[in-house]
Amino acid sequence: MTDLAIAAQDVGRVYPSDSGDVHALRDVSFAVERGRFVALRGRSGSGKTTLLNCVGGLDKPSSGRIWIQGMDIATLDEAERTRWRRENIGFVFQQMGLLPSFSAYENLDLMARLGGLPRSERRDRILESLEMVDLLDYYDHRPYEMSGGQQQRIAIARGLVAEPDLILADEPTSELDSETTHKIMAVLNNFVSKKGTSILLSSHDPIVDEYVDRVITLVDGQIADGS
């Protein structure tokens, strides 16, 4: 069993375009140990989303390799990868929106089931997760009955609910004011220390730096420091 949650070696991702290839990532190498909370910082267009997509197996690097808990998920076929991802990774990604006809509770319940959480633990875990983001009172609200910031906190709770070994979060505090950002970052920091989860989270907000073990800075698709 490796003690690395993530290992990336010389990862490149090129998007072909008419005006020349876009090198979204170039020779990105870094490792995240288990139980660590790491922030990926960089301005818009620096490659944060591309890197998180590659780490989570939603996109494939054009070159290089990535191991999650010792497993190179590029070696799995599509069905195996989807299953592995559900059971091992919690995602807090904008493009994975909440289901609009489901209440907050039901949105978390769906993820708890997909993540393989035993039935006997689901209810407690869902309520605990809603409590963590301070939205227990909203358990029966649907997404459209909540503000953008509240929806984002529900999406964070959904990423934690199945207690995955690794959580990947793409700008999870973008809709939150700074006071709420502090609160949520403290919750995530506490979650990492209590459960031994690893979190890789992208942001361009300097507030996050206070709560993480390490900051990796991306500039134009390359690691500037922190690897």
Using CB distances below 5 to 8 A depending on partner kind, what does residue 50 bind out of ligand ADP, Mg ion, none? ligand ADP
Whether the Cβ atoms of residue 167 and residue 55 lie closer than 8 Å to each other: no
Query: What is the nearest approach in angstroms of ligand ADP to the Cβ of residue 221?
Result: 6
Amino acid identity of residue 14, one-letter, is V
| Sites for Mg ion among residues 148-207 (CB under 5 A) | none
88 belongs to the binding site for ligand ADP (CB under 6 A): no
Residue 24 as a binder of ligand ADP (CB under 6 A): the answer is yes
* 44, 95, 120, 147: residue in contact with ligand ADP (rule CB under 6 A): 44
**Strands 198-203, 89-92: pairing kind:** unpaired
Q: How far is CA 63 from CA 21, 28, 76, in A?
A: 14, 10, 17
Judged by CB under 6 A, the chain residues 94 through 113 that form the site for ligand ADP are none
Q: Is 173 in the site for ligand ADP (CB under 6 A)?
A: no
Q: Which is nearer to ligand ADP, 129 or 202 (CB)?
A: 202
Residue 220 phi, psi (nearest 5): 45, 45
Maximum separation of any 2 CA atoms in the chain, in Å: 55
Cβ contacts of 76 within 8 Å, gap of 6 or more: 57, 84
Binder of ligand ADP out of 15, 116, 145, 178 (CB under 6 A): 15
Q: Which does 45 bind (CB under 5 to 8 A by kind): Mg ion, ligand ADP, none?
A: ligand ADP
Q: Does 45 bind ligand ADP (CB under 6 A)?
A: yes
Distance of CA 195 to the CA centre of its chain: 16
Range list of β-strands (E), the chain: 4-15, 22-33, 37-41, 63-68, 89-92, 166-170, 198-203, 214-219, 222-225
If one asks whether residue 159 binds ligand ADP (CB under 6 A), the answer comes out as no
203 binds ligand ADP (CB under 6 A): no
**Which of 28, 30, 37, 48 is close enough to bind ligand ADP by CB under 6 A?**
48
Footprint of Mg ion on residues 19-58 (CB under 5 A)? Answer: 48-49
Query: Per CB under 6 A, which region of 41-49, 66-74, 86-94, 133-141 contacts ligand ADP?
Result: 41-49
Give dist(CA 68, CA 79) in Å, integer.
17
